[in-house]
Copies of this chain bind each other. A is one copy, B any other.
Amino acid sequence: MIPAVEKAFRQVKALKIQGAEAVAREMVRALAEEMKAVEAGSREDFLRRMKKTAVVLTSARPTEPALRHAMRFMLFQARKNPSQDAGELKKAVAREAKAFEKTALENKAKIALFGSRLVPHGASVLVHCHSSTIVRVLKKAADDGKRIRVYCTETRPRYQGRVTARELGDYGIKTTLVVDSAANYVLSRMKDTDVVLVGADAITATGDLVNKVGTSLIAAAANEHGIPLYSCTATHKYDPLTLYGVPELIEMRPREEIIDRGMRGFGKVDVLNPAFDVTPARHVAAYVTEIGVLPPQALATAVWKEYGLDKEELF
C-alpha cells in the first residue's frame, strides 16, 4: 500500500475515523488512490489487485457492513466496465469513488425526505441513541412546518442521546430528554406518540435490525402499543453475509464505560457491555432507505435487485 492509504487504514483500525459512513467514504477514497498508484499490465491483473486491496481495506473494520458493502460495490462497478485497458479502468475507479460520495449524500437527502413524510403534524416522536440521518429526518419535518415533540433517550453508557437532544433543541424543535428506562412511560402515557425512529448498524437477510443496545426493548414495547418503529438507514447497512447464515457479531465494549475505574466495591462484580442488540423483523414497521420505505422481509430482495452483486464474491 502507498503511504497515504496505509495511514488511512491505520486510522480506521485505531478508531480515529468513526461512523459507518465516514469509514466507508475514507476506504473508498483509499481504494481509488491505491489503484491509481498500482502498476497493472492487463484488465485481469488490475481487477485481481483491486480485489486484494479491497479485502485488505475491509479488514480494517471487519464488523462494519457498510465498509464491506462499499468495497464490494466498487469492485462490482469496475467489473461491469468492459474496457481491457488498465489505464482506463484506473480512471473509471477514480470517477466511481467520487460518485460514491455524491450518491451517499443524495441518499441521505432521500431518506430525510421519505422519513419526514412518516412524521405527521403534531406528532410525538421517540428517538433512541444518535443518528445523523434521524436528525435530518426530524429537521426536514420541522422545516416543512410540522409542529413536533421529540423524546430522546439518554442512551447509556455513552449518552449519545444527549447529543441528539442538544442538536434538536438548538434547531428549535421541542425536545425532552429521558432515561432509557422511561421509554415505555413515554410510549404509554404520552398518548400522542406516533412513531419511534432509530438508525441501523446492520440489517440481516431476514430483516432483523442490529442497532444500539436497548432498541429491541423499545421495539417490543412499541409493538405492544401498536406504535410503528421505523429504522432510517441507507441500504448499505444490509449485510449480505447474513444471507449465507453468517451471524452478525455483537461488539462487547469495555467495563469502564459502565463502572468508572475509581469506583469502590465492585471487585466481585462482572460487567457485560454489549454495544448492540437484535430487534426481530416483526417489530420493525419498515426500513426507510434511499430506495424507499420497505417492509423488512423485502429488503434483501430489493437490494439484490437494485445492486445485483455477483454471488461468488461473497464467499
Contacts and interface: CB of A to CB of B under 8 A. Distances in A.
Contacts of A224: 220, 226
Interface stretch (A21-29, A44-52, A150-158): A150-158
A18 interface: no
A236 B242 CA distance: 22
A238 interface: no
10 contacts: A166-B269, A177-B259, A178-B271, A179-B214, A180-B180, A181-B277, A182-B277, A185-B272, A205-B293, A220-B221
Interface in A265-307: 265-274, 277-278, 281-282, 285-286, 288, 291-298, 300-302, 304-305
A267 to B, nearest CB: 8
Contacts of A53: none
A144 interface: no
A4 interface: no
Interface of A: 113-118, 120, 151, 153-157, 162, 165-166, 169-170, 172, 174-186, 188-189, 191-194, 205-207, 212-214, 216-218, 220-221, 224-226, 242-247, 250, 258-259, 265-274, 277-278, 281-282, 285-286, 288, 291-298, 300-302, 304-305
Nearest to A154: B258
A182, A183, A226, A301 interface centre (most CB from chain B within 10 Å): A182
Contact of A184 (B165, B216, B296): B216
10 smallest A-B Cβ distances: which pairs? A181-B214, A117-B245, A169-B268, A243-B292, A114-B245, A297-B297, A295-B297, A176-B270, A156-B179, A225-B226
